Every structure is written in C-alpha cells, then in structure tokens.
Amino acid sequence: MTNSNKVLKLGLPKGSLQDSTLDLFAHAGFHFSVQSRSYFPSIDDDELEAILIRAQEMAHYVQLGAFDVGLTGKDWIIETDADVVEVADLVYSKASMRPVRWVLAVPESSPVKTVKDLEGKHIATEVVNITKKYLAANGVNASVEFSWGATEVKPPDLADAIVEVTETGSSLRANKLRIVETILESNTKLIANRQSWEDPWKREKIESMALLLQGAINAQGKVGLKMNAPKSALEKITSIIPALRQPTVSHLANDQWVALEVIVTEKIVRKLIPELKRAGAEGIFEYDINKLID
Amino acid sequence: MTNSNKVLKLGLPKGSLQDSTLDLFAHAGFHFSVQSRSYFPSIDDDELEAILIRAQEMAHYVQLGAFDVGLTGKDWIIETDADVVEVADLVYSKASMRPVRWVLAVPESSPVKTVKDLEGKHIATEVVNITKKYLAANGVNASVEFSWGATEVKPPDLADAIVEVTETGSSLRANKLRIVETILESNTKLIANRQSWEDPWKREKIESMALLLQGAINAQGKVGLKMNAPKSALEKITSIIPALRQPTVSHLANDQWVALEVIVTEKIVRKLIPELKRAGAEGIFEYDINKLID
Amino acid sequence: MTNSNKVLKLGLPKGSLQDSTLDLFAHAGFHFSVQSRSYFPSIDDDELEAILIRAQEMAHYVQLGAFDVGLTGKDWIIETDADVVEVADLVYSKASMRPVRWVLAVPESSPVKTVKDLEGKHIATEVVNITKKYLAANGVNASVEFSWGATEVKPPDLADAIVEVTETGSSLRANKLRIVETILESNTKLIANRQSWEDPWKREKIESMALLLQGAINAQGKVGLKMNAPKSALEKITSIIPALRQPTVSHLANDQWVALEVIVTEKIVRKLIPELKRAGAEGIFEYDINKLID
Amino acid sequence: MTNSNKVLKLGLPKGSLQDSTLDLFAHAGFHFSVQSRSYFPSIDDDELEAILIRAQEMAHYVQLGAFDVGLTGKDWIIETDADVVEVADLVYSKASMRPVRWVLAVPESSPVKTVKDLEGKHIATEVVNITKKYLAANGVNASVEFSWGATEVKPPDLADAIVEVTETGSSLRANKLRIVETILESNTKLIANRQSWEDPWKREKIESMALLLQGAINAQGKVGLKMNAPKSALEKITSIIPALRQPTVSHLANDQWVALEVIVTEKIVRKLIPELKRAGAEGIFEYDINKLID
Amino acid sequence: MTNSNKVLKLGLPKGSLQDSTLDLFAHAGFHFSVQSRSYFPSIDDDELEAILIRAQEMAHYVQLGAFDVGLTGKDWIIETDADVVEVADLVYSKASMRPVRWVLAVPESSPVKTVKDLEGKHIATEVVNITKKYLAANGVNASVEFSWGATEVKPPDLADAIVEVTETGSSLRANKLRIVETILESNTKLIANRQSWEDPWKREKIESMALLLQGAINAQGKVGLKMNAPKSALEKITSIIPALRQPTVSHLANDQWVALEVIVTEKIVRKLIPELKRAGAEGIFEYDINKLID
Amino acid sequence: MTNSNKVLKLGLPKGSLQDSTLDLFAHAGFHFSVQSRSYFPSIDDDELEAILIRAQEMAHYVQLGAFDVGLTGKDWIIETDADVVEVADLVYSKASMRPVRWVLAVPESSPVKTVKDLEGKHIATEVVNITKKYLAANGVNASVEFSWGATEVKPPDLADAIVEVTETGSSLRANKLRIVETILESNTKLIANRQSWEDPWKREKIESMALLLQGAINAQGKVGLKMNAPKSALEKITSIIPALRQPTVSHLANDQWVALEVIVTEKIVRKLIPELKRAGAEGIFEYDINKLID
C-alpha cells in the first residue's frame, strides 16, 4: 500500500501573521514560496497543500474539513465557536505572534470602572460573540456592534467602550483609552479537523509538523556553549549551568580534561560565561542553533 | 455673530484609499499631516476636524451625524443602506480610486452562466446585503456568507461563487475565476449628513471643498498650451483645438500676431501640436497645471 | 578691462543645513554638484568658487576674508563676535532652516523660574559666549561649560540648566525639559566680508545672488492663478484677490471678457477659488512657479 | 478610405538607453508601459506598435523593414552599414544619451602616439567594422578582434589597443588608458525604413513623432519667465533678453504697463533676472515647461 | 628557492554571474573586494591576481595563458573551441548558476517539430558555432545569425527559430515560444591553462581552490544535527540516518548514553527529526555549516 | 544583604561609534534598544543604566563619577586629561572602531617636512591640548585653533597645517594633504571611575562586561573547524593546526578514529583545509561562532 496520493491540506493565516508564520515554518524545515497575488504557496512536498486564508475564518474551515490542519488564534476559535482539535500552542517570541489580550477599554476620562458599569451602553468590537458572552456572563445588557477596524478611535463619539486586541497597550494609550478588564488571552494554535486527526497517516504528519514547529520556536533565544574543563572542576561547573538538561560531557585525549557542551538561553550567557571562566573553564565559545527538540 | 467656534467634521477613509485621498486633498489645497498611529490628521484650518475611519463604516457614521461630511464608495453607501446627501462624484484617474465593479464570479470551469444558475448554491462576499438584494431581484435562492477577505481563493472548495470587487479583473483571472455578471459599479463620493447640509455655514464649506476636490481631479491629465499665431491663421487654429472652451486670445505688441492659451487633455497633445505647427502656430509650449475649475 | 579672472569666494554651511542650502541655491539658479568627500562643490560659473565649512566657523572666516560671502546663522555671527556685512535674511519655509530659538531650559521638576534663579549653578551649552553675555546682562554669576552635543540629556546630573537650540521644542519635551526663557532668535543670513562689499564687481555679484536667493524663497508656497472674467465682474474679482500686487489683466479677443493672472500664497487658494467662481470667474487654473522677484 | 488598420512599427533600444528613451517619449506625449520581461511596450495608440531590441541591431532591422522607424546611435548605423533614412538627431541633455565618442586608446605607458603606430598590433573592440575601415583609411595593418565587453581592462595583456565608446573619458582614465585619437562621434538618431518613408500616412506619423521628440528635448533646461514692465522700459528690457525669439508682449488694463513672457535657457536666468529688475521689470516669475516647438 | 614572487592569475566572470561567483569564493574563504568601475578585485593573498572578464571570452584567454585559471560555462568553452583543462564542475544551488540548457525554440504556432524541419530557415542565436555544428550533425542547411540579445523576441518576424539559454523555460513561455530540442546542457566549470597545470606550484594552488569551492557548494543546503542517545538505541538511530557517512559517535560521562553528530541535507531534516525522536534520541539540535569537505 | 538596588551607570558613545558599539554589546550578550531621539537605551538588566553621550566628553564625566564605566577613545582621555581606570582595550575589526591615528598634515606642496618647520605657523585641530603638548615637547611655537569640523579643507587658506584623525589616509589624500608625522595612535577603551572600581560589586560587574566584550571581539574573524581523523594521522594533523590552543580530541565509537574540533582564524582556513585533507582528515566542516573566551 502506498501513500503516494495522500495529501494533507494546510491553512496558513493571510495578512499580518503571514510573514512571521512562513518564517516559522522555514525554521522548522518547510520552505514555502508565495507568488505575488497567489493564495497557494508552493513547497517541495507532494503530500502537502497550503492555502492562505484569513485567520478569522480558519477554524470554521478546519471544522468543515476544507483544511486538515491550520494555524489561527485561540480568540478566533472561540469567536467562531469551532469544534476542532487543538494540537499545539505556538507561542512565538517575535512581536507579531506573542500572546495577545482582548481587553475592554474606555476613554481615560470615562466613569466606567468595571464591566458592570456598561449597562445600556454601546460597545464596538471585531469579536461580537466573545463580547456578548462576556457581557451575559456578567449579567450586563449592552448593545454590541461589529467594527470594521480603527476601533480605538471610536470612543467616545462612536461608541462608549470597545473590546480590542492589544499586545503592549501602547496603541490604546496613544488613543487615550484606559483598559477596564481583560476578557481573553490568546495565542496562535495549530488546530486539526476531528476526522483528519483520526486518520493515522494524517495524524502522524500533523504531529511531526507540531514537533518541528515547536522545535523551531524552542531554538529562538537559545545558543550552544562549548568549553574545555579540568576534570577537577567538572562538578562545580555542572552546578553553575542551569539544569534544563545535563551538559554533554565528552572525554578528551588529555584525560585530565573533558569537553562540555550545553544549550542555554542566550539571555543568561552574559552572567554564565564569567562564572564558568572563574570556575576553571577554558576555550569557551558560543554558537547559534536552528532547532531544538528536547 | 462669529463663526469662530464653528467646525466641520470630516471623515476620511482609512486603509487602501488613505494615501490617494490625502494626496487628492493636497492637490485641492488641504494639506493634512498624519502622525504615525494617529487617526486624527491635523490641518491648519481651525474650522475643520478630520478623522480616519474605514470606508465601510463611513456612510453609517455620516448618517448618524458623527461626521458632517465624508468620503466613501457608492458601494458602501448602498451596502449600509445609509440616508445621506451625495454631494459629488470623485472619479480619480489613478488606479486606486477609479470606478470599480462588484462582480459575480465563478471558477473558469463552472457550468454557471448567469445568476439564475446559482439556485441553492453558496456565495461568499464582503457585501452581503448588496448580494442578497441582487439575488432577490433575480428570484434566486442561495446562501450568502460574509467573507473576511481572500475571497478570490474560495471557489470551488469554500464557495460556489463569490461577489468581489475588481478594477481590471486581473486578480480574478490569476485565481482562475470567470466573471458572470456585474452587480454594481461604484466610485468614490463626497457625502454629507442631511442636517449639516441644511446649515448654511456648513453647506458653503462643503460645497467649496467639493469644488476644489473636483478642480484637482479635473486638472489631472490636463496641460496648458501657449503659442503665438498670425491673425490670419487664428480661425484655422481655433477650429483645430478641441472645444472644451474657447482659447484665451490676447493681443500682442506686433498687431499682426496674437497669443493663444488653452487648457487641453495631455493625451491629445501629441496629435494637436503637429497640426498647430502646420496651421502656422509658433513658439508652442506646454506646461503643467494643478487645479482647473471650469 | 575684463573681469575674466575675477572670482567670488562663497562659503556654504557643511552638515545639517547643507542639503537644504544647495537645494535653495538650485532653485535660485545656481546648480552646485558635490563629489562625495569633497569640500569643493563645482558649478558652471568661472567667477564663483564654493567651499563647504561648518556654520559655526563661517562668520569668522568671512571676517578674515577667506571667503567674500557666506551663509550662516545670526547665532554664530553673534557667538563668534564677527564683524561682517549682513546682506540678507534668508528665512526658509522648510523645517531645516526656519527661524530657530536658543532657549534656557531646565528639568521639568526644577525650581528654576527665571534666569535669576541660576546664581551659582552650572550651565552646559554649545554657545558659551552668548550664554555668558546673557547671564552678565542679567547680573547672574554661573559657570558655563562647552557641550559637544547631546546637551538635552545633561540635566539634572551633568548640568543644572542648558542653553540649547530648538525649533518646535519637541526634543526638549522628549527629554523632560522646560523652557525658562528665550535667549536669542536666529535665522540664516547671507553675510559678506567688509572689503569685498566695497569692491563694485563683487558687490554686484553678491547683490544678484541675494536677489535670486530671496526670489527662490519668495516663490515657496506661492502659485500662479489664471482665469477669464467678464469685464462687468472685474472690479469685484479684483477686490477679492489679496493685494500683494494688482493682477495682470489682459485684453481678449472677445472684448466683453478679460484674462487675469495673479501670484498668490498657495494656502489661501482653497478660500479664494470658490469666491472667484461665485464672483463670475471661469476657466480658473493654478500652476507652480520657481522664482518670484517683486 | 480609413486608416484604422494602419500601424507604424517602432523599434526602441533595449538596455542602457531604454529608461531614458521611454522617459523622452513620455515627455513627448507617448506614454509606454513595459511589463516585466516583455519586449512589447504597450501604448494607448492603436496605430503604433513598439518592440524593444538591442541598439546594435536596430538599423539592420529598420533597413529590412521589420520596423518602420527606430532609435539607435549613428555609430551602429555605420557599423552595420545600414541603408536607412536619418529622420532626426536626438541629442539629449542627460548623461545617458549625450553625444559619445568612439576613441582609440592605449595604456598610459604605451609608446603609441597615433594610429600609424599600430602596424601589426592587436586591437579589441565592439565595433569591428568601424575600426577596420579606420585602419584601412590610415593605411595601417592590424588585427581587430571582437570584444564582448569589459574592453577597457584588456590592454596591455589581452590587446595592444582598444576602440571604445566614452562620454567623459573617466572610465578610460580609471583603467589607466590614454586616448590616442577620436574615430567617430555619435548621437542617437530617429531612423526610418526607405519604403515606409515613401508612404504618406507613415511619413506624416514619423514626422509628427520627430517634431514632438525634438520639442521635448528642446524644453529641457528651458524655463518660462513672465514679468510686468512700464512701456517706457520696454525697449531696454527687450534688448537684454537673448534673441531666440521676440518676447510675447501683451497689453494690460493699465496702459502704461505691458506684460512680457519669454522662454529662455534656465542657465542664464541667474544673470538675466538681476538685469531685468534693474531695467525696471516687476513681478518677475519663472515657471517650468514640458515641450517647446519653435 | 622561494615562491614569494609566484602569482596565479584568476579570471572571474563579469556580469550576471559576478555577484554569485564572488559570493561563492567568499564562502570558500577568498574574500575579494571590488571597487566600483574596477576590473581588478583585490584580495589579501599576494599569490593571487584576479581580473573580471566576460564569461564568453574566458576560455579563449585561459587557453592563451592570459589567465592561469578561470570560471566560465561549459557552453562557452565549446562555442570558442578552447583547449583547456577542465578542473572541476561547480554546480551552484542558487538560481543564477544552476545547470542551464541551450534549446532550439520556435513560436508556439510554428509547424516546426524537430531540427529537421528547419531546412532553409533563419536562426538567431548568441552561440553561432554550437548552433552550426548541431545543424551540421543533423544534416540541416539553415542560416545562423548572431544575436546581440533580446533573442526571444525575434520569432516570428526577425527569425524562424532561435537557440537560446534557459533555466526554467519561463522567459520562453512568456514570449510564446515552444522548445523543440535541447542542444546543450551547461554548467559553470573551473578551467586551467594547460601549461599552468603542469607547474606544480600552480597546480597545487588550483587544486586547493577547487577543493574549497566544492566544499562551499557542498555545504549549501546542509546542516549539522547533534543529539544524545541511549546506547541501546544507537543501532536503530544509525540505521535511520542517511548514509552519506557514518555519524560521529562520542562517549559521554554517563556511559549508558552517547552523543551523535552528523551532517545531513537540510531538506530531509523535517522527516528525520520526528523519526529520531521516536527512536529515542534526545536534546536534538540543528546548526548551520559553511564548508563541507568529505 | 541584597544588591537589588545596586546600579551600574554606563556611558555609551553617541554619534559615529554608536551603531558599532551597540552591535558589539549585542554580540557580547547585552541587547540595548534605543528609542528614536532618546539618550537612554533600555536593557533587560535592572542593575544597568545606560546613557548616550559624546565620546569627547565621556572620560570627563567618568572621572566626575556621573558614570561608573564608559567607552571612549584613548585620544579623548588624553585630550581631556582625565584620571580614570583603563579597564580594557577594545580593538574592533570593523572599520569604524579600528585603531586610528591623529596625524600632523600639510598641503602636498607645502615645504614643511617635520613638526620643527611649523614655528610661527597656524594649526587647526579638534584636539587642541594634544596638539599643544606635542608642539611643546618638540620645542615649537605655533598657534593652535579649535576646528569645528571639515578640518581637512582648511589648508592652505584657513590654516598652515592640521592635526586630524585618520584610519586609512584616504580622506587626507582626497584633499591633497600629506602626512608629516603621527602624533598619537588611539583605540576604544573601556574606562571606569576610580571609586566605582574600588566597590567590589561594581568591579565584578565591570570585569564581566570587559570579559564578554573581549569575547565578542575575539570571535570576529574566527570559525570552528571539526573533522574526523585516523589515530595514525593525529600527530601530523595536530602539527598543522596553528597552536592557539590544542584541538579538542574526542574518542569515537570506531576506536581507530578520533574527532577533532578547533577554533581558528577564518583567514587561514583556505590554506588549512587542503593540508588537513592531504594529511588524512575527513568530513571536515566549518561553522560560525559568536563569542570566544580563551
């Protein structure tokens, strides 16, 4: 039996996440190329077909089976109330895909202190369903209107409050808005169609993809360190190195010395190297890595 | 009585039309400057306040009186069923704002020949109301689903047909779609709130704005031509020049000669100049103009 | 007698003003070209030699006669106490050369309210002489230290107050500084060596240069307007047009009509055109101009 | 009889001259647009078909009648010994198309002083025929080898001398070569097929094109000047203005004054304006022009 | 005896291959720097002199001994019938230097099916000699004319068929041409002069260069993988890794585990890592390499 | 006892060295981010505060204790006669921070041969104190004037000689100046305030910073080489590798072979690899490193 005509359909988010998503896939070993104006990125894998589609619609189409697997935010899975398998969380370290919050915000000078103060008010948002559920859960009656964008500019003239997505809050502050409450935290997820998930061939391919995407994310901000150490200092050096996993210690020709190799977070290197040096390590050097699968 | 605290609120379309709109206003003499991330362009006119808002929502907010005047497409006025005064058509000659068409399109290989063939089918579009009305007017029952974007990529898997906006059709062709029918032609319009239109001060300001915007559009693709001509050739030369308006003919020191000045479409200059030269004109030169109010 | 070996030496300011200065000269009809790394711009005028030199040193070298004529700020003429002829003020409309102010500034939270409060304090500035004179004139004893740059960052740790140049004050605000007093307003000037000014050939050349530079500045923000008008409306139309100078009114073939041409400030055109139209003008068009010598 | 299916085939030079040629045509009123990778620029004139082809081959194909008309250099007409009609010289003022020289050059240290010293030597060049004729005319026997490019680098190792094209000589100097003799001066020409030239419809179209191209070239470096002058100063002012053609003098409302308008070379404006001002002219302004047909 | 005044002369291809060639040399450890307009790249190796020359002429000058060694295509070696030593094939993975084909092409609508159908026809090409030999070998009489470029545009008006170079065929398709036959496959080669090849010092230097260039090419698309594995899983893991060469297996401190290191093709990593993980590997990471010499 | 409120104040050079300095810190593991117009780069280390200040003033403010530690050139330490601890030399390999020379230069045609010939002359320079000391040390009386910049342009008209900084001398040559003598060689230094240096916590932090900055500089132009070798060839291979430090030799599964790893200067790799290959090494590959602490 051959899998030669089996194909996995992959939905990729078009728009602001597109470049960072394709970049992540490239680090994971999947090199898509996108022709200008085309929605069908090509890749040298006959078992994979990719389509670019808006993140807002992804979960809907994965549920319907139009795609076997796709990337979108937890927010849009909830907003569209889609029934899909959530395979993996993909929390990028780059600005464009780090966890985001949907917040309830009002003008700085507004008397509104909690969601309770919105009774009878008018709220503009791109996530109408999430907002309505949140109001209902808090026993508040308020009208919710779909906003096509530029939502931050609407209060106070075009709305009393908004529910808007934010990473750092700086766009809200720039528009003189105050965050009242956080309604939802969201991050990118790899989701799968329920039926595709039951197909062993598809499931293995989806799981491999998840493993590699997480390996690529995992390697961001990590570096390799290598050094030589006298055997006598080995215990001390090992105790200094953060215990993600034990360092690889290999024998050397000179049997009084060993070579150590370890993958660490780049941010701690500036504290770690001086300590290693003081503990007796020599020939310490740092190098970059692309993927890291623990 | 002073108008010093009177203000006209102007809605400008945020997004793909923003740059060409601000450019048009600059040619008309209104020089806005937009700070990064701000939705409130500034201008050195205390009687004018501008806000950037999505074109889709403009007519709605002009109707409500949130803005006195705004720019948006005829399509979104119809889609939102807004009751506003249509002050002027603004048909740009630049790609971004020339008249556009909303068309019904299907895959090249689809058997659909007219809207009648869509009975029971599934249609994706950003203009749900326009599409529903068009189907109703043609006695067709079909489901219409809102599309967040990338609509061209949906047939045949995610929709049977789409209603999408196009200028040249090239994006549709690139996605192997065939135009079935044109549903609506649209262009940018200057619209006003009904109550603002009844206020004499606001109306005069809106009408001046319309006059200048049309003057700027009018001047695009126009040039001035100036030449000297013997009086004996004046009749012939005048008959050659297209009759937008009679050329300005001024007397010269040498009374056997006159000077002619005329504004013509730049495209015809390459035919006109050789004819003028043959008819006896001399010292012909061409220059650019910024505004033209007939 | 021939002037063929006469040469006028011109000092041009190197650095932040360089591009806008060369641009101004180009508008005035002097097209310099600067080779990368060279301080000697070339021009197709055998009677002119240009050198790029820092604005701070210009007045000093013009006084010494190293240059016959040069461009620098009024501030540096005063700071270096140079004895030169101030031929013309050159107030650009572009950001880089508009009038600037040297201001006394302190941290927002400083108790200093006037220059009098600086007794015994420490002041950092690039204009040590101007600052010392100002303190002396106000009877204040304070130490003044030359600052190589980044002066705004010095208070409160590295200085109690600074004297710094500013156009809009935004850089001071960004560094949380408050302006206490304005010490000097400055703008670019064309200055000449006293002896060169007495040489008739040099003086005529310098005066022509001043005339053309001012003509180029004068034309910035100005446009030409041309229109046809019925003779009956001429008086009313003339009364509407701002009275810089009377419009040029020429006779036309049709003797019931005249042609008017006038140079006006671009900023008023958006008010003027609707009024002209209402007053009976037709075929109104606007065009750009390069130089304007009244 | 209709000309509706008549077409003029135009050859445009592909490569280094392409952009400046299309720019010239645009100034002349012919706006071509070139798709990436296409050799067939489009234009909104059904009577014109354009093809991009190397300048070296142009004259050959115009002679054969593949094109009715084309642009190429005088050098390539001679090199290919083509029998064509030379309709017009097109001497651009921009670097890329100004007259060029084919020169005989040798290493700075070479003993060669004149072409006579090349007896028995080896010459590399792109213009083999022109070089051979020149040698024959001077009675010199030398071998001539076709060079694919980078010809300046060949002496002394790969050739004793070269015949190469140059504008300013700077590339030759940079390669430490010395010019021995100029063999040919060349500039761009509009050429026509002999048979096409006899067809009245084609000839008129070619002549119009030549008129407009020359009008566009003519306008480069020219500007319009306009001023008011008291009648009493008219004679003096007219005598100051260079006599390309008499200025246009129009009557004004105030019959003691006249308006003058004249097209002059931009380079002389910096001398002319001060003289005009001294002679009594007022309200002098300068404006740009696009085409000038005398 | 010293080699201090020995020099190897290297010809580098000027033009479209220049950047990718210099990039390849940099990856191989030879960092040339090219001054603008200079044909003599500099390098910090006194024993190496480089000259930029057109690829078409390279083999000719290597044969003559003007260069000891050079890079050019197999096509131009054949076209110029040069007698040189072909030291190494350099097949880049980048678009600009991958193997190319010279093909016989005709208009899509042409009746020509094989080279035999070209009897009596007219063929345009840059490789006149290759084309003539191919016709002769097939017993076809046809005229062959040198084309300066833009060859794809010539059929059907300026030629019946062309012989043109292509990588993907897309430029031919864009010009509505159909490939009839492939005449020659070509790739870049390092070639040496026969006499230089016999000089032991030069030969060793050429062979080192070939080794490093191939090492740089070899490393493209390769990555290093490193992982820890339990000894018990070693056999299985080794069997999974493609057998370019056995992985480097080193002992670790914990003698139940070993460290594996292997260089693999980047493209297979996305299949390999999930399998390694399933087989028991841990701490798998990937890193980049610059050169790879097997 | 906690260090939580301890802070090290770091002065960074604003201006031409800023980018390369921040780049060096990033390679050392300190990632600053600079907001436009701000002088206070931020970093994710609560114990570090950075300020951008001109290099000329750095030593002065470090001496005063305004900063604990800073980077500036040896030249400005001497010019300002500052009493600071010189912690480390930081000799970058990038153009902007390599060792520079302050030289005495005169016009090419000047008779000046040594500093002795400057008696009674006029010298312009940015380093007035250094110049005065040098003249005094040589027993020369000459006037020294502060130059604001563009110093190279001053001789011969505005100064007889200059003392100016240069890396390659090319700017001096371009201005037709000749170097007479070198007055001072300078490079970037990490300097510390004397009191801060006595504080153990600050000293350790400064020493760690120095270690990491030197590690980053050290790694520039270095690469890692890894290879397998038969035990029998180990001695020969080890003798070939330059003796910075002994290579790391690890045992392999196959006990006839060993793995070698060594860090070498990239420049010698092109000589080293062919020799290693000939000596029996296999599977040689090269990789990049970020930091290297010996």
Model pLDDT, residue C245: 67
User: Which residue out of F53, F72, F164 would a mutagenesis test of the C interface target, given it has the greatest number of C Cβ atoms within 10 Å?
Assistant: F53
Model pLDDT, residue B3: 45
Residues 248-277 of A with CB under 8 A from E: 248-251, 258, 261, 263
C221 to chain B: nearest residue by CA? B29
Does residue C21 have a pLDDT over 60?
yes
Query: Which among D30, D245, D249 is the nearest to B252, CB-wise?
Result: D249
Model pLDDT, residue D81: 94
Model pLDDT, residue B9: 96
Within 8 A of A271 by CB-CB distance, chain F residues are 208
Residue range(s) of every CATH 3.30.70.120 domain in chain A: 222-288
**Which of the 8 DSSP states describes residue B117?**
G
Mean local confidence (pLDDT), B244-259: 79
D149/E14 Cβ within 8 A: yes
Reported confidence tier of residue F4, pLDDT bands at 50, 70, 90 = very low
Please state, in angstroms and rounded to a whole number, the distance separating the CA atoms of residues E218 and A111.
68
Reported confidence tier of residue C266, pLDDT bands at 50, 70, 90 = confident
- Listing from the earlier edge strand, what are the strands of the sheet with D122-125? D143-146, D122-125, D161-166, D100-107, D177-186
Does residue B203 have a pLDDT over 70?
yes
How does DSSP assign chain C, residue by residue?
---TT--EEEEEEESTTHHHHHHHHHHHT---B--TT-S--B-S-TTEEEEEEEHHHHHHHHHHTS-SEEEEEHHHHHHTT---EEEEEE--SSGGGS-EEEEEEEETT----SGGGGTT-EEEES-HHHHHHHHHHTT---EEEE--S-GGG-TTTT-SEEEEEESSSHHHHHTTEEEEEEEEEE-EEEEE-HHHHHSHHHHHHHHHHHHHHHHHHHHTTEEEEEEEEEGGGHHHHHHHS-TTSPPEEEE-SSTTEEEEEEEEEGGGHHHHHHHHHHTT-EEEEEEE-SEEE-
Residue at token pair 């020219």 = D222
* Residue C65 Ramachandran class (φ > 0 left, ψ -120 to 50 alpha, else beta): left
Decide the pairing of beta strands F291-293 and A282-288: antiparallel
Mean local confidence (pLDDT), A271-291: 91
Within 8 A of F244 by CB-CB distance, chain A residues are none
**CB-CB contact of F218 with F293 (8 Å):** yes
Residue type, F172: L
Low-confidence ranges of chain D (pLDDT < 50): 1-4, 93-97
Within 8 A of D274 by CB-CB distance, chain C residues are 204, 207-208, 211-212
ipTM value, please give it: 0.83
Please state, in angstroms and rounded to a whole number, the distance separating the CA atoms of residues F122 and C152.
34
CATH class of A8-93+188-219: alpha beta
pLDDT > 70 fraction of chain A, expressed in percent and rounded: 95
Exposure of C192 in the CB half-sphere (CA atoms within 13 A): 19
Is C touching E (3+ C-beta pairs, cut-off 8 A)?
no
Mean local confidence (pLDDT), C185-203: 95
Fold classification of E222-288 (topology level) = Alpha-Beta Plaits (3.30.70)
Model pLDDT, residue F122: 94
Question: Which residues pair with residue C102 across a beta bridge?
Answer: C165, C184
Which class for D56: exposed (0-12), middle (13-18), buried (19 or more C-beta within 10 A)?
Answer: buried
Q: What is the mean pLDDT of chain C?
A: 89
Helix axes B269-278, D200-219, angle to 10 degrees: 100
Q: Which pair of structure tokens corresponds to residue E28?
A: 């191989």
Q: Which pair of structure tokens corresponds to residue D111?
A: 């003993």
Q: How far is CA B4 from the centre of its chain?
A: 32
Instruction: Using alpha carbons, list the distances in angstroms from residue E294 to B229, C253, E209, F277.
Output: 84, 92, 15, 9
Among E88, E64, E119, which residue's Cα sits nearest to residue E209? E88
Size of the A and E interface in Cβ pairs below 8 Å: 74
Least Cα separation, residue A151 to chain E (angstroms): 41
Within 8 A of A283 by CB-CB distance, chain F residues are 245, 248, 263, 292-294
B271 to chain D: nearest residue by CA? D208
Q: What is the mean pLDDT of chain F?
A: 89
Please state, in angstroms and rounded to a whole number, the distance separating the CA atoms of residues D56 and C287.
42
Q: Give residue-wise pLDDT tens across range E33-90.
A: 887 767 889 888 889 999 999 999 999 999 999 999 999 999 999 999 999 999 999 9
Least Cα separation, residue D207 to chain E (angstroms): 25
**CB-CB contact of F224 with F287 (8 Å):** yes
Most confident of A3-7, B200-204, D45-49, F28-32: B200-204
Say if C116 is an interface residue toward chain D (CB within 8 Å): no
Q: Which phi and psi (to 5°) does residue A69 adopt?
A: -150, 150
Q: Give residue-wise pLDDT tens across range F257-280.
A: 888 999 998 888 999 999 999 999
Please state, in angstroms and rounded to a whole number, the distance separating the CA atoms of residues E76 and E86.
13
Least Cα separation, residue D149 to chain E (angstroms): 6
Least Cα separation, residue D14 to chain B (angstroms): 23
Does residue B177 have a pLDDT over 90?
yes
Q: Which pair of structure tokens corresponds to residue B169?
A: 């059709």
Reported confidence tier of residue F160, pLDDT bands at 50, 70, 90 = very high
C292/D287 Cβ within 8 A: no
Q: Which pair of structure tokens corresponds to residue B120?
A: 């029971």
Model pLDDT, residue F5: 63
Say if A177 is an interface residue toward chain B (CB within 8 Å): no
C212/D270 Cβ within 8 A: yes
Q: Give residue-wise pLDDT tens across range F46-104.
A: 899 999 999 999 999 999 999 999 999 999 999 999 999 999 999 864 444 467 899 99
User: Which residue out of F258, F286, F290 would a mutagenesis test of the E interface target, given it has the greatest number of E Cβ atoms within 10 Å?
Assistant: F286
- Listing from the earlier edge strand, what are the strands of the sheet with F8-14? F48-54, F8-14, F69-73, F188-192, F85-90
Q: Give residue-wise pLDDT tens across range F116-140.
A: 999 999 999 999 999 999 999 999 9
A153/B39 Cβ within 8 A: yes
Residue type, E70: G
**Quick check: helix, strand or coil at residue B255?**
coil
**CB-CB contact of F279 with F200 (8 Å):** no
A285/F219 Cβ within 8 A: yes
Low-confidence ranges of chain E (pLDDT < 50): 1-4, 93-97
Least Cα separation, residue B116 to chain D (angstroms): 37
Least Cα separation, residue D215 to chain C (angstroms): 21
Please state, in angstroms and rounded to a whole number, the distance separating the CA atoms of residues C132 and C142.
8
Strands (E) across chain B are located at 8-14, 48-54, 69-73, 85-90, 100-107, 122-125, 143-146, 161-166, 177-186, 188-192, 222-230, 248-251, 257-265, 282-288, 291-293
**Quick check: helix, strand or coil at residue A259?**
strand
Superfamily of domain A100-185: Periplasmic binding protein-like II (3.40.190.10)
Q: What is the mean pLDDT of chain B?
A: 89
Within 8 A of C287 by CB-CB distance, chain D residues are 287
E39/D152 Cβ within 8 A: yes
**CB-CB contact of E25 with E18 (8 Å):** no
Query: Which among C54, C152, C153 is the nearest to F149, CB-wise?
Result: C54
**CB-CB contact of D177 with D107 (8 Å):** yes
Query: Which among A208, A258, A294 is the nearest to E283, CB-wise?
Result: A294
**CB-CB contact of A107 with A175 (8 Å):** no
Cβ count within 10 A of residue A278? 14
Size of the A and B interface in Cβ pairs below 8 Å: 52
C292/D266 Cβ within 8 A: no
Q: Enumerate neighbours of C (3 or more CB pairs within 8 A).
A: B, D, F
Size of the A and F interface in Cβ pairs below 8 Å: 75
Model pLDDT, residue B281: 92
Model pLDDT, residue C3: 45
- Listing from the earlier edge strand, what are the strands of the sheet with D188-192? D48-54, D8-14, D69-73, D188-192, D85-90
Within 8 A of B147 by CB-CB distance, chain A residues are 57
Q: Give residue-wise pLDDT tens across range D167-210.
A: 888 888 888 899 999 999 998 999 999 999 999 999 999 999 99
Model pLDDT, residue D1: 36
Please state, in angstroms and rounded to a whole number, the distance separating the CA atoms of residues E42 and E50.
7
Say if D288 is an interface residue toward chain C (CB within 8 Å): yes
Reported confidence tier of residue B244, pLDDT bands at 50, 70, 90 = low
Residue range(s) of every CATH 3.40.190.10 domain in chain A: 8-93+188-219, 100-185
How does DSSP assign B198-221, residue by residue?
HSHHHHHHHHHHHHHHHHHHHHTT
F51/C153 Cβ within 8 A: yes
Reported confidence tier of residue F250, pLDDT bands at 50, 70, 90 = confident
Rounded to 5°, angle at Cα A111 from A110 and A114 = 105
Residue type, E80: T
Does residue C123 have a pLDDT over 50?
yes
Q: Which phi and psi (to 5°) does residue E61 adopt?
A: -75, -30
Instruction: Using alpha carbons, list the distances in angstroms from residue A265 to A223, C42, F29.
Output: 6, 56, 11
Does residue C36 have a pLDDT over 80?
no
User: Which residue out of B36, B40, B54, B57 would a mutagenesis test of the A interface target, given it has the greatest number of A Cβ atoms within 10 Å?
Assistant: B57
E60 to chain D: nearest residue by CA? D158
E257 to chain F: nearest residue by CA? F253
Residues 5-24 of D with CB under 8 A from B: none
Reported confidence tier of residue F218, pLDDT bands at 50, 70, 90 = confident
| Torsion of the alpha carbons at A234, A239, A244 and A248, rounded to the nearest 10 | 0
Say if F235 is an interface residue toward chain A (CB within 8 Å): no
